[in-house]
Amino acid sequence: MKKTARVIVTYDCPRYCENCCNEHIGNVPEVKFENLLKYEELVITGGEPMLLAPRVVEMIHRLRANGYTGKIWLYTSCIKTARWADREVLKEVDGITYTLHHRPSQNDLRDVRKLNKFILEKIYPWKGKRSDRLLIDSRCYTEEVLSIIGLHETGEEHWESVRPLKWRNDECPLPEGEELVFYDLENG
């Protein structure tokens, strides 16, 4: 069995960050659904996978229905807990890595505040502490931002980690043992 697939499910993303890793990745091999079953774990990423949240729910359900027992992780920077599909994805995955990017809007901050509360109240009591990680761009990792997103009230116990993310200007090398693949969730 292969180790880890980092699965780009869409290249679309509304954020247009400077030096996005996807500017450097070149030609990513496209895989069929059956190929995903060959990996020990899957990291669903993009672009912004939650642009297709209902399709991500279907993808996870289909994987499980086909006997997939590996871990499924989600990399995202846009979860809106008011949407059913986002809540469903949050419950189904084994953990998320959520990034709050530089120059967050009021909506971005509100989304993280709601996400923090959702994990505290709906995930943590049910599943215990998972591998949920909150990364905050170091350029906006301030006491004020931590307070706005609610961490001063709730503490961080329900997160595996909350830490500043130093924005990189290199070509984002893949962690060892991971393969980057594209699974066309919009058309697949």
Binding mask 136-155 for ligand SF4 (x = CB under 6 A): --------------------
Which one, 50 or 151, has the nearer CB to ligand SF4?
50
Task: Number of helices (H) and strands (E) in the chain: give both, helices first.
Answer: 7, 7
The answer to whether residue 16 forms part of the interface with ligand SF4 (CB under 6 A) is yes
Q: How far is the CB of 100 from ligand SF4 (least distance, A)?
A: 10
Task: Give CA–CA dist 94/144, Å, rounded.
Answer: 30
Task: Give CA–CA dist 141/23, Å, rounded.
Answer: 25
Task: Give CA–CA dist 162/84, Å, rounded.
Answer: 25
> Under a CB-based contact definition with an 8 Å cutoff, are residues 160 and 10 in contact?
no
| Structure tokens belonging to residue 149 | 């997103």
The answer to whether residue 22 forms part of the interface with ligand SF4 (CB under 6 A) is yes
Applying CB under 6 A, among 4, 43, 46, 162 the residue interacting with ligand SF4 is: 46
Binding site for ligand SF4 (CB under 6 A): 13, 15-17, 20, 22, 46-48, 77, 101
